[in-house]
């Protein structure tokens, strides 16, 4: 059993060249950009053009992006297991339904740990769908409150990289002790604090964006926006009984408005080039 533990609700590192390319291609209205525009965006984020070109070639080889024309690059939805999550963060809360107290479980004792890349994908899939380990039982659990229930979550986990040897099933009638143990695995206080903190940063940034040079404003909006969206994507969508309040809802509304500003800044910045 891996000790994946609780997610860390802190802002991630600045994007790599590959991160930047994927971010821009997934959010730009045209869904495609020239290599010149990508290199210019890289320079705004302190990335050398050579690093951006290397990243583009690597992403092209791995099938994560395509080249519809010479020097033009676009995202390849079939090559990105996370693209649906990235594109659907605005509708995150629509993926949840009322909770009747049941759980979705995953057993992965038969999954080989020696294949490190596959194991990391497996763990990431569980984390992205909000699963937590029940002590050392070999069982991962999350509330059964996602649209489509067990069958849909099973297919979703496979798409995200769940190991073929893992088993996904419905769970009910946990003992009182196990119920208490699993409920404690989501640090809802930390999640709420993180949402409120980054929400305050979004407010502060919105005020300052118009006062900054265009390149800096574009860079700052990208870094802060991607950190906020990352939090939303990793939100486990817990039911009200496990996580009350409206911190997530308020953050989504804030990020929606902020991203309108950020996209406009990037459009201006790339056009100026």
User: Is the pLDDT assigned to residue 81 strictly greater than 70?
Assistant: no
Q: Are 54 and 17 spatial neighbours (Cβ–Cβ below 8 Å)?
A: yes
**For the chain, what percent of residues have pLDDT higher than 90?**
71
169/166 Cα distance (integer angstroms) = 10
For 20-58, the pLDDT digits (tens) are 998 888 877 767 899 999 999 999 999 999 999 999 999
pLDDT of the residue at 2: 37
pLDDT of the residue at 84: 72
For 223-270, the pLDDT digits (tens) are 999 899 999 999 999 999 999 889 999 999 999 999 999 989 988 898
According to DSSP, the residues that pair with 65 across neighbouring strands are: 75
**For the chain, what percent of residues have pLDDT higher than 70?**
92
Say what the pTM is. Answer: 0.84
Residue 118 burial (CB < 10 Å; 0-12/13-18/19+)? middle
Half-sphere CA count of 211, side-chain side, radius 13 A: 5
Print burial letters for 202-214: b (CB count within 10 Å at least 16), e (below 16): beebbeebeeeee
180/199 Cα distance (integer angstroms) = 31
Structure tokens at 165: 């040897």
User: Is the pLDDT assigned to residue 8 strictly greater than 80?
Assistant: no
Identify the weakest region by mean pLDDT among 74-88, 90-104, 184-198, 215-229. 74-88
pLDDT of the residue at 166: 97
Average pLDDT score over residue span 215-223: 92
Average pLDDT score over residue span 126-136: 94
For 51, other C-beta atoms within 10 Å of its C-beta total 16
pLDDT of the residue at 240: 94
Q: Mean pLDDT, the chain, as a whole number?
A: 89
DSSP 90-150: GGGGGGB----S-EEEEE-TTS-SS-HHHHHHHHHHHHHTT-EE-TTSSEEEEES-BTTHH
User: Is the pLDDT assigned to residue 68 strictly greater than 70?
Assistant: yes
pLDDT of the residue at 7: 33
Average pLDDT score over residue span 151-180: 96
User: Is the pLDDT assigned to residue 272 strictly greater than 50?
Assistant: yes
Closest CA to 250 of 228, 217, 221: 228
Place 6 in a pLDDT band, splitting at 50, 70 and 90: very low
CA distances from 83 to 17, 65, 77, 266 (A): 17, 12, 6, 20
Helix H or strand E encompassing 252: helix 247-272
Average pLDDT score over residue span 46-74: 94
Average pLDDT score over residue span 63-91: 82
pLDDT of the residue at 50: 96
pLDDT of the residue at 24: 87
């Amino acid at each position: 059993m891996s000790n994946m533990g609780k997610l860390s609700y802190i802002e991630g590192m600045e994007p790599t060249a590959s991160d930047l390319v994927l971010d821009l291609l997934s959010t730009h209205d045209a869904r495609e950009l020239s290599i010149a525009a990508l290199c210019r965006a890289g320079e705004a984020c302190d990335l050398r053009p050579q690093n951006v070109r290397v990243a583009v070639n690597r992403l092209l080889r791995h099938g994560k992006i395509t080249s519809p024309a010479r020097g033009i690059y676009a995202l390849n939805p079939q090559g990105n297991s996370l693209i649906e999550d990235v594109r659907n963060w605005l509708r995150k809360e629509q993926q949840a339904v009322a909770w009747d107290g049941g759980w979705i479980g995953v057993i992965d004792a038969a999954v080989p740990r020696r294949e490190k890349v596959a194991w990391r994908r497996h763990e990431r899939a569980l984390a992205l769908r909000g699963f937590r380990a029940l002590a050392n039982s070999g069982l991962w659990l999350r509330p059964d409150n996602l649209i489509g229930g067990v069958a849909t979550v099973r297919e979703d986990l496979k798409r995200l990289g769940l190991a073929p040897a893992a088993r996904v099933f419905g769970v009910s009638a946990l003992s009182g002790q196990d119920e208490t143990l699993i409920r404690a695995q989501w640090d809802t206080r930390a999640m709420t604090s993180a949402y409120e903190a980054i929400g305050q940063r979004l407010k502060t940034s919105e005020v300052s964006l118009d006062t900054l040079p265009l390149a800096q404003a574009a860079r700052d909006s990208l870094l802060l926006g991607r950190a906020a969206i990352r939090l939303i994507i990793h939100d486990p969508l817990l039911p009200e009984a496990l996580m009350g309040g409206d911190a997530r809802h308020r953050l989504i509304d804030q990020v929606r408005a902020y991203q309108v500003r950020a996209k406009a800044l990037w459009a201006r910045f790339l056009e100026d080039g």
